[in-house]
Amino acid sequence: MVLIAHRLATVIDADRILVMEGGVGQEYDHPYKLLVNDEENDDEITKDGHFAQMVRATGGETANQLFRIAKDKFDR
Residues 65, 47: Cα–Cα separation, whole Å: 17
In a domain, 17, yes or no: yes
Provide the number of structural domains found in the chain. 1
Which value, to the nearest 10 degrees, does the dihedral of the CA atoms of residues 55, 33, 49, 8 take? -30
| pLDDT of amino acid 57 | 96
Residues 76, 68: Cα–Cα separation, whole Å: 12
HSE-up of residue 74 (Cα within 13 Å, Cβ side): 22
In a domain, 19, yes or no: yes
Range 7-31 average pLDDT: 94
In a domain, 32, yes or no: yes
In a domain, 53, yes or no: yes
Determine the structural domain holding residue 13 and report its residue range: 8-75
Which value, to the nearest 10 degrees, does the dihedral of the CA atoms of residues 9, 14, 20, 26 take? 120
Range 60-65 average pLDDT: 96
pLDDT digits (tens, 9 = 90+) for 29-47: 999 999 999 877 788 899 9
In a domain, 3, yes or no: no
Which residue did the predictor score with more confidence, 69 or 1? 69
In a domain, 23, yes or no: yes
Band the pLDDT of 14: cuts 50, 70, 90: very high
> In a 3-state reduction of DSSP, which class is residue 51?
helix
In a domain, 2, yes or no: no
